[in-house]
């Protein structure tokens, strides 16, 4: 039974690590930034026609790999997992019949564990640096401060909660990075696997309970961490539970020669350094491009509409007015959000040139064209065309520190809990 389990794990997890493109992409290091944008999912794109055929033939669904989606739980990826399971079961059966006389797979087991360990280590670094340099869960955008809590999805609630506290997010990332570094070193691999397992239990639980679409990958990383700890179960039980003497929790050796094993350990360490530099570099670039380190637009902030004129007539702030705006939000370069009187936040593309701002709808159609003036730093005036009508808008900048989420800070002493 143990040999059958090994054969299945070898085929299934081996294929998963080879074909789930993101896992191998980590090892491109800093070279990855010059590869095509779709390289991170390259192998799966090659398999897309097969996945589509299986989806239509077996499940009766038209499953296509969505290249513009960040979801790891697409229908096509679930079909990919199904295909791997089928291949692994068939391969295990054939292998078991063809190689039934073999007594053990100690050398192949050592190589399998090493490859699996490096793959898990790479993912720990990849996701760890995305939190240690907090870009995976960015700080709540300004528009989120204006939305009712009930409008957020569970996944958005989780993202905003973590992004609200950079120190918390960075500590989560530091644990994952530490697990990854320890996994790259054979001597500390068991400690790294334990740390990675604890981290993946939390991540998988959050993904399941907040409906975050990374359940497939996080679940597999959790299972692979368990596989890595399989050779150490008895030793860990002796130390942690039974309080008995135990042998060192060492990794299976790849070679019979001690020097060769030492060289392989050095190669693994160098590979870890290469992956670490690449993951850190990618996350640092992301921090400057769309994270907290990005350049803020000139009009950054929330602007409240104080006066709104259409064709020379002032429009009172009625919630039934479908033309009047309530607020205008500048947060990211090239993007604005305007809030209608009913509270709806509408995103728009923005292009600012020489005192003018042109807004366009997400489909590219022209929305507005304004001249911009600032009588003082706290006031803004827009005049021009909105949906083909002459409009003049006077706005006043909102103090962002009026929001409790931004002004509460940290307190050692609290005579009463502060829940608002």
Round to whole Å and give the CA distance between 336 and 347: 6
List the Cα angle 50/53/55 in 5-degree steps.
110
What is the spatial distance between Cα 136 and Cα 286, in angstroms, rounded to a whole number?
Answer: 9
Q: Are 59 and 76 spatial neighbours (Cβ–Cβ below 8 Å)?
A: no
Predicted TM-score (pTM) of the model is 0.92
Q: In 3D, which of 217, 280, 254 has the Cα closest to residue 115?
A: 254
Confidence at residue 1, expressed as pLDDT on a 0 to 100 scale: 57
**C-alpha distances in angstroms, 61 versus 56, 80, 304?**
5, 13, 47
Q: Please tell me the distance from the alpha carbon of residue 198 to that of residue 175, in angstroms, as a whole number.
A: 10
In three state form, how does the secondary structure of 217-272 look? HHHHHHHHHHHHHHHHHHHHHHHHHHCCCCCCCCCCCCCCCHHHHHHHHHHHHHHH
Pairing state between β 301-310 and 335-340: unpaired
Nearest to 265 by CA among 341, 333, 185, 319: 185
Residue (of 406, 386, 407) closest to 328 by Cα position: 386
DSSP letter at 295 equals: P
Give the H or E element holding residue 329.
strand 325-330
DSSP code of residue 58: I
DSSP 357: E
pLDDT the model gives residue 275: 96
pLDDT of residue 68: 83
Residues of the chain where predicted confidence (pLDDT) is lower than 70? 1
Widest Cα–Cα separation across the chain? 92
Q: How far is CA 75 from the centre of its chain?
A: 19
Domains, in order of start, for the chain: 3-290 (no CATH), 301-402 (2.40.128.20)
pLDDT for position 252: 86
Other Cβ atoms closer than 10 A to 267: 10
What letter would DSSP give residue 151?
A: G
Alpha carbon dihedral 284, 409, 172, 126, in 10-degree steps, equals -20
pLDDT of residue 400: 94
């Amino acid at each position: 039974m143990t040999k059958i389990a090994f054969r299945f794990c070898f085929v299934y997890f081996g294929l998963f690590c080879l074909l789930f493109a993101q896992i191998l992409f980590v090892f491109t290091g800093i070279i990855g930034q010059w590869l095509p944008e779709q390289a991170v999912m390259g192998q799966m794109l090659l398999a897309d026609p097969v996945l589509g055929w299986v989806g239509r033939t077996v499940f009766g669904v038209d499953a296509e790999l969505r290249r513009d989606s960040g979801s790891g739980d697409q229908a096509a990826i679930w079909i990919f997992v199904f295909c791997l399971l089928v291949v692994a079961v068939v391969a295990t059966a054939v292998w078991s019949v063809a190689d039934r006389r073999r007594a053990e797979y100690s050398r192949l087991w050592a190589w399998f564990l090493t490859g699996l360990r490096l793959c898990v280590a790479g993912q720990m670094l990849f996701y760890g640096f995305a939190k240690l340099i907090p870009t995976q869960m960015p700080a709540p955008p300004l528009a989120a401060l204006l939305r009712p809590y009930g409008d957020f999805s569970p996944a958005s609630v989780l993202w905003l909660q973590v992004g609200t506290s950079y120190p918390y997010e960075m500590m989560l990332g530091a644990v994952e990075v530490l697990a990854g570094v320890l996994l790259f070193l054979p001597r500390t691999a068991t400690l790294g696997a334990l740390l990675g397992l604890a981290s993946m239990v939390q991540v998988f639980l959050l993904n399941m309970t907040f409906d975050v679409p990374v359940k497939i990958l996080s679940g597999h990383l959790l299972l692979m961490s368990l596989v890595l700890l399989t050779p150490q179960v008895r030793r860990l039980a002796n130390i942690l539970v039974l309080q008995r003497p135990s042998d060192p929790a060492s990794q299976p050796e790849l070679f019979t020669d001690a020097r060769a094993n030492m060289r392989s350990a050095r190669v693994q360490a160098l590979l870890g350094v290469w992956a670490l530099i690449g993951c850190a570099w990618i996350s640092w670039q992301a921090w400057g491009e769309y994270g907290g380190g990005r350049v803020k637009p000139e009009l950054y902030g929330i602007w409240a509409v104080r006066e709104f004129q259409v064709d020379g007539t002032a429009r009172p702030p009625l919630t039934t007015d479908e033309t009047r705006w309530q607020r205008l939000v500048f947060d990211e370069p090239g993007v604005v959000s305007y809030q209608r009187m009913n509270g709806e936040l509408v995103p728009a593309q923005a292009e600012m040139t020489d005192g003018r701002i042109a807004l366009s709808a997400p489909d590219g159609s022209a929305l507005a064209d304004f001249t911009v003036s600032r009588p003082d730093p706290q006031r803004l005036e827009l005049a021009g065309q909105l949906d083909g009508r002459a409009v003049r808008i006077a706005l006043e900048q909102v103090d962002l520190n009026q929001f409790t989420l931004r002004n509460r800070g940290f307190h050692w002493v609290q005579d009463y809990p502060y829940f608002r």
